[in-house]
């Protein structure tokens, strides 16, 4: 009888913990083994605008099938997913009602993060987790947590990933149609980048050369660039829309020289008629977009590759602007903050998706793969959306006036500076 019980126990263990019979090792994160944490049968709710995609990833990906059940058994809990676009209102309501004691909140700098941390609704978990926890995250996740630090505290614990896993595929690059450039007699920009000569001036020359009226009707049939992101110009010159000063105060910095110069280039490219067309339709030679967008062009007939945004005169390196950094936060009323961080680490592992898999899904030539790999190690955390959301509409209106030539960058930015700073100050004084 005892032998029979042992065999049954072994089978159950294998079913629960995988073919190795061992639970995922959390000690590399400086945490206790998973079975040490006990949620007492409570329900852990993952709240996110991507909750359904996260659930689908965990339940259908061959690498993660069975992991939810394993986590529920080890941590003694039930895991549920709450899909909502109503962030942070949903988070605040759950906090006020007490429902959030066992929540994990996936946030983004432009979707709830700053409202949550500035109102005291998030737990400053960075003060309690060991350094090993953050070292075990991918470089991209660790840098994002640092970038999203607020008033001297770290609130993030890393991504709840799907698709590209923990890898950085959100950096903005410039796709270019190699076949089209060759037909137009325009040099390959990657050669300039490899020689450290991919600058604003050289990019302007190439965009001018690529903008052509092929049928002589007075209208361009091919444009140099489409999908222009004005913030990328600013970041590529070492600037930013906002920054944090030596006293920890968030300040509006779009009026600094490096930013004004960038906006002057932005309007210059528009007024020259270099911007327009469509990248897939071969009417634009370059396309400014996240590198993950390469997945949409894997079957494109023309050859294409990517380069970083060209380097501005005040920058000492190439930047890969980030659209909006993401991280997971823990509610301020969490009953077991460390256990929630351990559960997140258990569910979303750095080695779930390999870099080779991401490369295969995203790019199709060695040069583009090289840029994707650089994004993982050389990414400097500068982003489009950090605190800009607090003055976003005014900034967007100013950019529209700049783009049309109605106002110069210096005038348009000066007109909104005090108002945007007032909004930032109100946010910081909550």
The pLDDT tens digits for 247-270 are 888 899 999 999 999 999 999 999
In which residue ranges of the chain is CATH 3.40.190.10 found? Answer: 20-168+325-353, 172-321+380-428
Task: Provide CB contacts within 8 A for 414, sequence distance 6+.
Answer: 255
Output the pTM of the full model. 0.86
Q: How big is the chain by its Cα radius of gyration, in Å?
A: 24
Q: CA 165 to CA 156: how far, in whole Å?
A: 17
Could you tell me the two tokens for 320?
């890969």
**How far is residue 171 from each of residues 45, 111, 125, 294, 420, measured CA to CA in Å?**
30, 18, 27, 12, 26
Beta-sheet strands, E only, within 100-219: 103-108, 172-177
So what's the pLDDT on residue 105? 98
Could you tell me the two tokens for 118?
């500035």
Contact 1, 39 (CB under 8 A): no
Q: Which long-range contacts (CB under 8 A, 24 or more apart) does 411-419 make?
A: 413/254, 413/255, 413/259, 413/260, 413/263, 414/255, 416/391, 417/252, 417/254, 417/255, 419/391, 419/394
What is 172-321+380-428's CATH number? 3.40.190.10
So what's the pLDDT on residue 389? 67
79 DSSP β-pair partners: 44
What are the pLDDT tens digits along the chain (430 aa)? 333 333 333 333 333 433 334 579 999 999 999 999 999 999 999 999 999 999 999 999 999 999 999 999 999 999 999 999 999 999 999 999 999 999 999 999 889 999 999 899 999 999 999 999 999 998 889 989 998 998 889 999 999 988 788 899 988 999 999 999 999 999 999 999 999 999 999 999 999 999 999 999 999 999 999 999 899 999 999 999 888 888 888 899 999 999 999 999 999 999 999 999 999 999 999 999 999 999 999 999 999 999 999 999 999 999 988 888 899 999 999 999 999 999 999 999 988 999 999 999 999 999 999 999 998 887 777 777 677 667 778 898 999 999 988 999 999 999 999 999 998 888 887 6
- Strands 284-290 vs 223-226: parallel, antiparallel or unpaired: parallel
Candidates 127, 57, 115; CA nearest to 89 is 115
Q: Which CATH number fits domain 20-168+325-353: 3.30.429.10, 3.40.50.1000, 3.40.190.10, 3.30.230.10?
A: 3.40.190.10
Residue 329 DSSP label: E
Contact 395, 420 (CB under 8 A): yes
Candidates 58, 146, 135, 62; CA nearest to 104 is 58
């Amino acid at each position: 009888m005892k032998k029979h019980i042992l065999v049954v126990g072994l089978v159950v263990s294998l079913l629960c913990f995988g073919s190795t019979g061992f639970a995922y090792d959390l000690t590399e994160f400086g945490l206790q083994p998973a079975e040490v944490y006990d949620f007492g049968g409570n329900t852990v709710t993952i709240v996110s605008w991507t909750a359904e995609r996260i659930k689908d990833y965990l339940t259908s990906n061959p690498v993660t099938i069975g992991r939810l059940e394993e986590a529920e058994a080890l941590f003694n809990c039930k895991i549920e997913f709450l899909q909502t676009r109503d962030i942070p209102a949903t988070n605040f309501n759950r906090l006020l009602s007490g429902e959030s004691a066992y929540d994990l909140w996936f946030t983004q700098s432009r979707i709830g993060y700053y409202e949550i941390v500035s109102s005291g609704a998030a737990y400053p978990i960075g003060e309690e987790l060991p350094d090993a926890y953050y070292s075990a995250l991918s470089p991209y996740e660790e840098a994002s947590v640092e970038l999203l630090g607020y008033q001297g505290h770290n609130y993030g614990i890393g991504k709840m990933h799907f698709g590209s896993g923990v890898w950085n595929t959100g950096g903005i690059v410039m796709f270019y149609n190699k076949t089209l450039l060759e037909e137009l007699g325009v040099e390959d920009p990657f050669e300039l980048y490899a020689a450290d000569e991919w600058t604003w001036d050289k990019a302007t020359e190439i965009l001018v050369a690529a903008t052509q009226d092929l049928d002589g009707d007075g209208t361009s049939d091919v444009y140099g660039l489409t999908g222009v992101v004005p913030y990328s110009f600013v970041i590529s010159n070492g600037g930013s829309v906002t920054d944090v000063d030596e006293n920890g105060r968030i300040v509006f910095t779009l009026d600094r020289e490096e930013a004004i110069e960038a906006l002057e280039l932005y309007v210059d490219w528009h007024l020259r008629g270099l911007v327009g067309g469509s990248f897939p339709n071969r009417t634009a030679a370059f396309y400014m977009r996240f590198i993950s967008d390469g997945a949409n062009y894997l079957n494109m007939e023309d050859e294409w590759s990517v380069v970083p945004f060209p380097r501005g005169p005040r920058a000492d390196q190439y930047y890969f602007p980030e659209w909006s950094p993401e991280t997971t936060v823990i509610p301020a009323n969490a009953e077991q903050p460390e256990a929630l961080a351990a559960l997140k680490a258990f569910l979303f592992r750095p080695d779930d998706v390999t870099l080779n898999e991401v490369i295969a899904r995203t790019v199709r030539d060695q040069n583009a793969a090289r840029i994707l790999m650089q994004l993982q190690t050389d990414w400097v955390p500068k982003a489009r959306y950090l605190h800009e959301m607090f003055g976003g509409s005014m900034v967007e209106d100013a950019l529209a006036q700049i783009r049309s030539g109605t106002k110069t960058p210096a005038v348009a930015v000066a007109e909104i500076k005090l108002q945007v700073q007032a909004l930032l100050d109100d946010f910081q004084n909550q």
